[in-house]
Amino acid sequence: MLPFTTYLVEDSMVSKLSNVSERSSQSTEKQPHRTEDDIVPPPELKASANPVRVLVIGAGSRGCAYAEAIRGFPNAHVVAVAEPDAFKREQFSERYCIERERSEGVLFADWKEFIDYEKQRRLRAQTGSPTVEPGVDAVFVCVLDEMHREVVVALSELGGLHIMCEKPLATNLDDCMEMYTALEKNQDKVFSIGHVLRYSPHNMALRKLLLEDRVIGDILSINHTEPVGWWHFTHSYVRGNWRREDTSAPSLLTKSCHDIDVLLWILCSPPSYTNSSTPPHVPSTVSSTGALQLFKKSRKPASAGNATNCLSCPIEPECKYSAKRIYVTDQLNGLGTGNTNWPVKIVVPDIETYDQGEERQSVLLTKLAENYTPSTPDSVISSRNWFGRCVWESDNDVCDEQVVTMTWDEDPVSGSLQNRGAKTATFHMVAHTKKICERYTHIYGVDGEIYADGQTITIEDFNTGNTRVVHPRQESFGHGGGDVGLARQFILAVDKVKNHGWQAQKAQREIVRCTLDEVIRSHAMVFCAEEARKGRKVLDWRNWWDAKVGAL
């Protein structure tokens, strides 16, 4: 059985390391030069006499992922959790909350209860009460996507707290802008978004090679692919939380907004966040194509008949999308492999409380057998997940295939075209692949090209004919180290403000290295791409921005 942290988040299901140098060397006469340089070493975290105190709102897979990372930091502690599910709340507190024996200020039924408690705690402190328990410095917001706006706005209005919000920021542009306005008023505190791809050692090394070392000169085009995975997509986007736009958002936002963000981080943001006054090189046009191609009733095999649930389907034994195969058997990551974490835990959150063997399997099968009928109200159907539902009979409507194309016009600044020439980026989200979130990228430049696969970075130099293969350090499987990387940078920034006299804006710029403007820009790009896809048109980015963002 793989360690606990491997199953914390869906994107962490990454296959074993591959050796790109073998593939690359076959296409060149010279053996590639291999290097083990870190490229971007991790910052040193020093023990603190006054550690950052953290509240996690939402004890699901993402909340656990960040708490697991924080547990290894010497300058921060998780001290409280807000979670409506009593089992998740108690399990989280046992695993992560270092002050769980305290009588109050540790366990909250929801975020509103925390807000009420914190107001009363501060009032007691102001009136000089001698028994005021310590508060928290920072909050990780890991609730459902559609709840982000309400929670973040309320925390911003409360004030005094540094905030990290899981991606996406919100499920529509209006909510994003409302959050932007609230957070702007809270600029004496650090804000971070869960764009974990920015913080993986691999992507940090890739960006440095491209923008600082300029190993292939000016970038001309990027083709970036996110392979979601054939069964992973059915779990999350056909049967799971993110299957419907009206209860969640388009899959481009819920699954791929941080891929769009990484492309803009490379092609739009300034190379350096330290003392940089260079304006962003914004795109010129945006277009997109895509649809729900496979997981719909018209593609259902005739041999499946009228079955709407896997457990009553005549072709279940040979169907690759069988819920029994995915969650129960000894294939993939089912219960039969000994796995009780993701994805099994998503179906039955308290699976570990049942006796091993037959009892766990019985509980899981009972859950998978749950189904709905034509007479079931849509409000009931949409309110929960149906992990045993036939993938061709589900109520999903989000894209399982999408391509986004962004172009940039030449935009010289101070007489220099460096990194600001005309260029193109193409993003491809594909569900139907064996790879599970193992992203790969081709980058073409004036002086060479790069192939990056999350493990290695292969650089072909046109001037010398040499091939160089860089192996950035591997920190963890959670988004290639991005989970722990994002948590580390956020906590380090908060620590600098709390204990070392830094201004929040300085810590935001130099440690978090992601501004609030960048957060809005990358989310707006997703909404723009969706409008282009649905309207089957090419949109002028500046005009769209002025009309949709500037008007808000």
Assigned architecture for domain 218-294+400-445+515-548? 2-Layer Sandwich (3.30)
Pick the CATH number of 1-198+478-514 from 3.90.1300.10, 3.40.50.720, 1.10.10.10, 3.20.20.220: 3.40.50.720
For the entire predicted model, the pTM comes to: 0.91
The neighbour count for residue 306, using CB atoms within 10 Å, is: 10
Burial of 310 (0-12, 13-18, 19+ CB in 10 A): buried
Domain ranges of the chain: 1-198+478-514, 218-294+400-445+515-548, 299-382
Nearest Cα to Cα of residue 78 among 97, 58, 102:
97
Burial of 71 (0-12, 13-18, 19+ CB in 10 A): middle
pLDDT per 10-residue tile (average), the chain, 552 residues: 32 34 36 60 87 97 95 96 96 94 91 97 91 94 97 97 97 97 93 96 96 96 97 97 96 96 95 81 97 97 98 97 95 92 94 92 97 97 97 98 97 78 97 94 98 95 96 82 95 97 95 96 98 98 95 62
In this structure, what is the dihedral angle of CA atoms 100, 61, 523, 443, given to the nearest 10 degrees?
A: 120
pLDDT of amino acid 145? 96
pLDDT of amino acid 439? 96
pLDDT of amino acid 4? 27
Q: How far apart are CA 140 and CA 143, in angstroms?
A: 9
Compute CA distances 55 → 63, 129, 131, 158, 484, whole Å.
10, 23, 20, 14, 17
Burial of 356 (0-12, 13-18, 19+ CB in 10 A): exposed
